Amino acid sequence: MTILITGANRGIGAEMMLQYQAKNQRVIGTTRGPESRDFLSFDVTCESSAKDLGQSLETQGIDLLVCNAGVYLDKGRYSGDDLPADMWAQTFAANVTGVYKTIEATLPALRRAQSPKIAIIGSQMGTRDKAQGGSYIYRASKAAVINLTFNLAHDLRSEGIAVGVYHPGWVQTDMGGDEGHVTPTESATQLIGHFARLSMTRSGEFLAFDGTPHAL
Ligand SMILES: NC(=O)c1ccc[n+]([C@@H]2O[C@H](COP(=O)([O-])OP(=O)(O)OC[C@H]3O[C@@H](n4cnc5c(N)ncnc54)[C@H](OP(=O)(O)O)[C@@H]3O)[C@@H](O)[C@H]2O)c1
């Protein structure tokens, strides 16, 4: 089984990569840094970088794509705070367009696998259920990627590609901060379990950290 994880150089992505490697799975991580033995260089906001990724995978099959890379640029900002258009653009470029472009670049490699799956790291912050105000840009981007998941699941069903979106918990990473409720290790363990259970019958699922279907 070959797994591709975007943004695997730190945070939840790095922990997922370590845990898969410990299970002797082949993992290709992506980083915005230089390439190395286990890492391809990939900026999800850069179209030519996505094309390069697609070319690097030209002869390979990818069984599981994990769209994990993301940014939270308006953390701690509320109504009335300055939310520059550029911050909206950068966030959507990474968290929404970046996910789509990653999938687009990886689809040929996914089609070469037996039972391909796509796992998208969303967030409960994109739901109405957890609409507690503030962080409008991040929340809107995660709402968009949850919607993207549902529509990709619909369209990729005929090809046998399962797609799901997952809330990883409030995780102690650079993004989540020290107050997070779960460690990256706990989060990655849960996510890996969810991805293992993802199948065509479950395609289109949106799961909470504990694996229950998340309210929208
Ligand atoms: N932490 C939480 O509590 C929490 C909760 C809900 C959802 N999430 C989601 O979980 C995912 C991982 O979050 P995390 O907490 O692990 O965050 P993190 O520690 O900040 O790591 C983010 C990762 O994404 C990469 N990245 C950002 N922009 C990128 C770009 N343009 N191209 C390629 N890679 C890019 C970063 O690479 P660089 O090192 O190059 O910046 C880094 O590897 C994100 O999608 C996040 O929204 C996190």
> Is there a domain that residue 64 lies in?
yes
Q: Which residues pair with 67 in a beta bridge?
A: 120
Residue nearest to atom 37 of ligand 1 (CA): 7
- Tokens 């503030």: give the residue: 134
CA distance 152 to 173: 28
Cα(158) to centroid of ligand 1, in Å?
Answer: 31
Cα distances from 35 to residues 9, 42, 109, in angstroms, run 11, 9, 19
216 in a structural domain? no
25 within domain boundaries? yes
| Longest alpha-carbon distance in the chain | 50
Please answer whether residues 169 and 190 qualify as being in contact, where contact means their C-beta atoms are separated by less than 8 angstroms. Answer: yes
Counting from 1 in the atom list of ligand 1, the atom nearest the Cα of 93 is 31
Give the tokens for residue 164: 């799901």
**Spans of the chain, pLDDT less than 50:** none
- The answer to whether position 48 is within a domain reads yes
Are 8 and 19 in contact, with CB atoms under 8 Å apart? no
pLDDT of residue 79: 82
User: Could you please report the per-residue DSSP string of 6-21?
Assistant: SS-SSHHHHHHHHHHH
Measuring from each residue's beta carbon to the nearest atom of ligand 1, which residues come in under 6 Å? 6-7, 9-13, 32, 42-45, 68-72, 94, 98, 121, 123, 167-168, 170-171, 173-176, 180
**Does residue 62 lie within any of the structural domains?**
yes
Q: Give me the pLDDT at residue 93, please.
A: 98
Please list, in sequence order, all residues whose beta carbon lies within 8 angstroms of the beta carbon of residue 139, skipping any fewer than 6 positions away. Answer: 125, 126, 131
Domain-embedded: residue 215: no
Ligand 1, atom nearest to 13 Cα: 16
From 4, 5, 6, 10, the mutation candidate for ligand 1 (largest count of ligand atoms within 8 A of CB) is 10
What is the per-residue pLDDT for 80?
Answer: 83
Does the residue 213 lie in any domain? no
Question: Measured in whole angstroms, how far is the alpha carbon of residue 30 from the centre of its chain?
Answer: 12
Domain hosting 167: range is 2-207
pLDDT digits (tens, 9 = 90+) for 1-38: 999 999 999 999 999 999 999 999 999 999 999 999 99
Question: Catalytic amino acids?
Answer: 138
Q: Cβ(109)–Cβ(59) under 8 Å? A: no
Does some domain include residue 212?
Answer: no
Residues in the chain: 216
CATH number, domain containing residue 30: 3.40.50.720
Q: How many domains does the chain have?
A: 1
